[in-house]
Structure 1
Amino acid sequence: MKGSIQNRDEFLSNIAGRLGRDLVTVGVERPKWKYSPQDAVLKDASSDELLDVLKRQCGNILTDIVITNKIKLAGTINKMVANYGGGPILSWKDPRFEEYGLSPLFNERWPEEGIEFQEWDSSIGEENIKRAERANIGITISDITLAESGTAVLFSGNDRGRTVSFLPTTSIILIPKSTIVPRMTQAARMIREKVERGEHIASCINFITGPSNSADIESKLVVGVHGPVKAGYIVIEDL
């Protein structure tokens, strides 16, 4: 249900009066800066150069990274899953998995091998949370990827539960190479442009940089405090 705004003008007039100035009734013009250093970082980097930056950053954020292509993707995921201890596995219900040819792996090979696999299913409500809590591995797909910080940006949705990326012990995130941009600057601009075009925006957008870690106590790094203990990125070359 869409809400309504009540007594806005009176409220703002009261604040302006307390500040000793007139109420602003026209829009604020966006300033045009002479220098925009945020746009200069990796400005002319090619997709391969951005991938190299991402690979180096993954070493800093304790994240495994593998480069593959669509043909080898199923084998790459299967190997990474085995290295992380197998199931139970929970993934988004996302048509991109089928486009990448992963349905036989998810729905046939893994069940035949005794690896429990489930998808997030909006029709079962809170049961999804229990699945995520039990899962050893959660599999999602990055919508935007920040090379500079090694951050995967995930747009949630009805069948793309946000807990898939942080309740399981391990997070595997598929990264289409075409999603890699230099840094937060480009991601914020892309999201704003979606809003301006009137596109539906996810109610939750997660910016995930490797496994959960914290150094708040005595500056000692502890991994897995608020989320996955391990994280792996699988970059899919564009064909």
Structure 2
Amino acid sequence: MAIQNRDVFLERLAGRLGRGPRTVGVERPEWTVRPQHKVLVDASQDELVDVLKRQCKVIHTDFRKTNIESLAQTLDEVIKNYSGNKIIIANDQRTADAELDFYFDRKRADGCLVHVWDEEIGKENQQRAEQADIGITFSDMTLAESGTIALFNDKNQSRSISLLPHSYIAIIPKSTIVPRFTQAAQQVRKRLAAGEKVGSCVSLVTGPSNSADIEMHLIVGVHGPVEATYIVVEDM
């Protein structure tokens, strides 16, 4: 992922400080106190699942746990609960890996219409997302502490899928669950250092849309899905 206009920005910033940019002798500080690294650091993967489950109650999100063999059945139950007729999903290899290709036929046996994100049709994808009842994606990383889904958006997985439909379903491989954003940022940095592509941006989704006014009256669905379900898959 390229950084645009970095040198120009740094030169302008240094100029405001009354000096030129420093390019040598700059070292990352070593902080003596790092409380962010201690939260849930010794938690097992099963314990992190329990933390995520408890947090889902706080963020008004339904929580389900299943295994790879029962994933399609669990999806069926959630979709029927949402009464969705139009579904949009990412163009994701994990759909095939989880043997869900048959499940996401363009027209399902129950009459639901499924659209798979297609970069070739451009803006039409966003129109399909706006019209969709349900958006479904796999989670790339999942933050147990806050109940946040991290999505690495690219040409095949747009943030529109998790933002525009009325309801959102996140499929969470158990192995993607980390304690908090600290560990997620560390993983992203390692991937970038190894030359991996992470995505054009990273979307952080914490349950359905929530907003509150100055008197703290909670309003759901102002700028995103009205309802959300997280499905943790044990053996992906």
> Which category describes the TM-score, using the shorter chain as reference length?
over 0.9
1:86 CA drift (Å): 2.1
Distance 1:185 1:93, change over 3 A: same
Q: TM-score, normalised by structure 1?
A: 0.91
Partner of 1:154: 151
How high is the sequence identity, in percent, across the aligned residues? 50
Q: Aligned ranges for residues 21-100 of structure 1 at < 5 Å?
A: 24-100=22-98
1:222-233 alignment, distance < 5 Å: 222-233=219-230
Q: 2:211–2:219: 8 Å Cα contact kept in structure 1? A: yes
- CA 1:26–1:48 in structure 2 vs 1: closer, same or farther (change >3 Å)? same
User: Residue 200 of structure 1 is aligned with which of 197, 201, 217?
Assistant: 197
Q: Which amino acid aligns with 2:46?
A: D
Size of the aligned set, in residue pairs, is 235
CA-atom RMSD, angstroms? 2.2
The answer to whether structure 1 residue 113 and structure 2 residue 87 are counterparts is no
Matching of residues 151-190 of structure 1 within 5 Å: 151-190=148-187
Structure 2-normalised TM-score? 0.92
Q: Which residue identity lines up with residue 95 of structure 2 in the other structure? A: F
Q: Is 2:132 the partner of 1:131? A: no
- Unpaired runs of 5+ in structure 1? none
SS at match of 1:155: strand
Secondary structure of the equivalent of 2:104? helix
Mark the runs of 5 or more structure 2 residues left unpaired by the alignment: none
Aligned partners of 2:127, 2:97: CA distance in 1, in Å?
28
Amino acid at match of 2:89: S
| Equivalent position SS for 2:105 | helix
Q: Distance in 2 between matches of 1:126 and 1:200?
A: 23
Deviation of the 1:36 alpha carbon? 1.5
Q: 1:6 to 1:237 in 2, by over 3 A?
A: closer
- Measured against aligned partners, the alpha-carbon deviations of 1:100-133 in whole angstroms (never above 9, x if no partner) come to 111111117x522211111111000010011000
Cα distance in 1 for partners of 2:8, 2:66 equals: 57
CA contact (8 A) 2:11 2:20 kept: no
Residues 121 and 159 in structure 1, CA contact (< 8 A), matched pair in contact too? yes
Q: How far 1:149 moved relative to its partner?
A: 0.3
Kept in 2, the 8 Å contact 1:16–1:23? The answer is no
- Give the letter for the 1:116 counterpart: L
CA deviation after TM superposition for structure 1 residue 25, in Å: 4.0
Q: Which position in structure 2 is the counterpart of 1:213? A: 210
State the alpha-carbon separation in 1 of the partners of residues 209 and 75 from structure 2.
21
Instruction: Say which one has the larger Rg.
Output: 1
